[in-house]
């Protein structure tokens, strides 16, 4: 079992205090560095993003904006309006611009969609990303569907369909791959579910981690966004923060029926992209960028899967099946998650996500993000040492 010494207990208490202040999200490493200056943070394995994609974006940014002086244009002037950026994306997504809504990060879209379309009753599978129940408007009943631990938190399709059928909700939420466990529903399964839910007014499908999932040897990407004409009740939410490693840029989009896009735009969201977000969206549709991006996407998936296979060999922990860029790890030696996170942070400088605030998880859980190959090796070795 993990034991903390007196100093470590003091830091752990400080850490808990900062976490409590940050609500259902983790304090950033910058907040930690500021508030607990004697911490030496080496690896942020709390943070879910592809670091190679960040490298790629920064490379383009340097060449095209910084070195050319065009950075000024991006910062000084108003960016394009929502619909203009939707039009830019349309060609690349093979979806009509009328079906695309641009968000200041996915979180803005989640908020907007819940507030407008959640209806009287929403079903949220737990454990999950907390915003889906936290941002449900007053008057919306949130019904939790508990993913079964015995089934490794994977969705039991028939049981779930029956549950939805009996509950008769206005909205269901499917995060694919799910956060915090990384469980993935195949494209065919998703289609099966969408067929079953054709009479549910709104089916939110959050594909923020879909770039890390794959079904074949080519790591091909399968999104249900292209099915929006066939299933007009879907709202596909897509963050760009994770796959492109640019959380600070705040960029996301959603695909939904055109009436809804129109309605949202009638209520604002006119200039919700920054100049840098617009630059990113314009980059995102360029063939040269996309072919470079595909390389770093596949590289990161491969390294992530290696990371998972190594984590599985560590005794005293259990890794749950994941096709996202993070693993849900259960601590099975009787230690608690807070001690695990504190010790890993203080003794090894590795910051991981304590999941004890996640509803629907029974046991001691942490979520560990995949980082660069060499960092992943350090993480595995540190956890092995911690658990020995």
Chain residues binding a copy of itself by CB under 8 A are 22-23, 25, 28-31, 44, 47, 49, 51, 54, 57-58, 61, 66, 71-81, 84, 104-105, 107-108, 110-111, 115, 131, 135, 137, 241, 245-250, 267-277
Query: What minimum distance in Å lies between the beta carbon of 34 and a copy of itself?
Result: 10
* CB contact set of 37 (below 8 Å; sequence gap of 6+): none
Query: What minimum distance in Å lies between the beta carbon of 21 and a copy of itself?
Result: 9
C-beta closer to a copy of itself: residue 46 or 190: 46
C-beta closer to a copy of itself: residue 175 or 200: 175
C-beta closer to a copy of itself: residue 50 or 335: 50
Query: What minimum distance in Å lies between the beta carbon of 120 and a copy of itself?
Result: 18
* CB contact set of 358 (below 8 Å; sequence gap of 6+): 126, 127, 128, 130, 180, 365
C-beta closer to a copy of itself: residue 250 or 297: 250
CA distances to 62, 165, 186, 338, 385 from 37, in Å: 31, 52, 44, 20, 25
Query: What minimum distance in Å lies between the beta carbon of 325 and a copy of itself?
Result: 14
Query: What minimum distance in Å lies between the beta carbon of 55 and a copy of itself?
Result: 9
C-beta closer to a copy of itself: residue 107 or 225: 107
CA distances to 13, 309, 324 from 339, in Å: 10, 24, 25
Query: What minimum distance in Å lies between the beta carbon of 106 and a copy of itself?
Result: 10
C-beta closer to a copy of itself: residue 175 or 249: 249
Q: Rounded distance, CA 141 to CA 120, Å? A: 6
288 phi/psi in degrees, rounded to 5: -60, -45
Q: Rounded distance, CA 161 to CA 253, Å? A: 27
Q: Please give the helix or strand (H or E) that residue 235 lies within, else none.
A: strand 234-239
* Contact present, 122 and 171 (Cβ < 8 Å): yes
């Amino acid at each position: 079992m993990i034991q903390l010494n007196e100093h470590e207990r003091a830091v752990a208490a400080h850490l808990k205090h900062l976490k409590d202040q940050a609500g259902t999200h983790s304090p950033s490493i910058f907040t930690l560095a500021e508030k607990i200056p004697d911490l030496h943070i080496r690896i942020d394995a709390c943070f879910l993003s592809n670091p190679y994609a960040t490298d790629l974006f920064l490379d383009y940014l340097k060449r095209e904006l910084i070195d050319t002086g065009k950075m000024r244009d991006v910062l000084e002037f108003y960016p394009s309006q929502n619909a203009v950026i939707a039009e830019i994306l349309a060609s690349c997504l093979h979806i009509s611009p009328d079906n695309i809504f641009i968000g200041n990060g996915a979180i803005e879209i989640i908020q907007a969609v819940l507030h407008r379309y959640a209806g009287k009753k929403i079903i949220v599978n737990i454990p999950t990303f907390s915003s889906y129940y936290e941002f449900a408007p007053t008057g919306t009943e949130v019904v939790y569907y508990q993913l079964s631990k015995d089934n490794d938190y994977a969705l039991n399709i028939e049981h779930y369909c029956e549950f939805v059928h009996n509950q008769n909700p206005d909205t269901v939420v499917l995060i694919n791959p799910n956060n915090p466990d990384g469980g993935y529903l195949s494209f065919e399964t998703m289609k099966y579910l969408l067929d079953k839910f054709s009479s549910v007014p709104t089916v939110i499908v959050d594909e923020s981690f879909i770039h890390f999932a794959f079904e074949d040897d080519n790591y091909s990407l399968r999104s249900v966004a292209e099915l929006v004409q066939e299933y007009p009740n879907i709202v596909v939410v897509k963050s760009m923060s994770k796959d492109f490693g640019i959380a600070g840029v705040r960029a996301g989009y959603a695909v939904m029926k055109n009436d809804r896009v129109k309605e949202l735009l009638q209520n604002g969201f006119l200039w919700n992209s920054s100049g840098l977000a617009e630059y990113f969206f314009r980059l995102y549709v360029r063939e040269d960028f996309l072919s470079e991006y595909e390389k770093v996407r596949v590289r990161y998936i491969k390294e992530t899967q290696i990371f998972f296979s190594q984590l599985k060999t560590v005794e005293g922990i259990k890794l749950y099946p994941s096709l996202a860029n993070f693993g849900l790890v259960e601590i099975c030696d009787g230690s608690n998650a807070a001690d695990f996170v504190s010790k890993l942070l203080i003794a090894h400088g590795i910051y991981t996500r304590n999941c004890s605030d996640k509803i629907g998880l029974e046991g001691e859980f942490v979520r560990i993000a995949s980082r660069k190959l060499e960092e992943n090796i350090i993480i595995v070795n540190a956890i092995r040492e911690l658990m020995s």
